[in-house]
Homo-oligomer: A and B are copies of this chain.
Amino acid sequence: MGKIERRKELMRAAREVFSTKGYHDAKVDDIVALAKVAKGTFYLYFADKRSIFVELVGTLFERIGAAVLKVDPRSDIEEQVKHNIRAIVAALLDDPALTKILFSYAAGLDPAFVTAIRSFYDGSKALLEASLIEGQGLGIVAPGDARLFATFTLGALKELVFENVTAEKAMPREEIVNELFAFLQGGYLRIGPPRAASQPPPAPAASKKPTPAKKAATPAKKAARSG
């Protein structure tokens, strides 16, 4: 077996072991046993246990980052938003083992590593937030605290994906995409008036700055109420 295959084989085995046992309970001995090599071989390919894990996670991050596209307001927005949701969901579901770890076992490692994961999350959230603020300028995102919207979105996404990855439920991916989109679009509670009105594109002349949101949180809701 060539060096590259051996390396891949070790990563495959590691992913498997990590996802069933979690990071801490995964022993290097388990990994090498599954990969059918001696322990020493492991250390010819990876500096230590942590580095194979970091590499595994890094791959997933990259794949997600590469898949998401910036939304162009001049063409079909719904489809583009759905495309992005689809891309993220696909990247995660294609690697259920790793996703499981990332969403549940991830932390509790040494601080440096936790920081890496958090910074990825924060980056994603910031990106999403920026998109939403832009969307507010275009009238396709309700007024309100874009940061909160981003938080809610990631939370809902994570939870649903995690559910699909843990249990053997496995909804069709397109259904995941559609449902998530629908939820972001209209919530589900039908009590009292909803947040702000949903006008057809109201000509984005309301403000000159593209980022008029920020800390409009509770006020936004009050506005909705009074409207």
Residues on A facing B (Cβ under 8 Å): 22-25, 77-78, 81, 104-110, 132, 135, 139-142, 144-145, 148-149, 151-160, 163, 175, 178-196, 198-199, 217-218, 220-221, 224
Contact = CB atoms under 8 A, between A and B. Distances in A.
Contacts of A184: 187-189
Given A187-B184, A195-B186, A179 B145 contact: yes
A144 B108 CA distance: 37
A180 B149 CA distance: 9
Given A105-B107, A142-B189, 16 more contacts: A25-B108, A104-B107, A139-B190, A142-B187, A145-B179, A149-B183, A151-B156, A153-B156, A156-B156, A178-B218, A184-B188, A185-B189, A185-B194, A186-B194, A188-B195, A190-B198
Q: What 10 A-B pairs have minimum CB-CB distances, sorted nearest first?
A: A155-B159, A186-B194, A22-B108, A186-B195, A104-B107, A152-B156, A155-B155, A105-B108, A187-B187, A185-B189
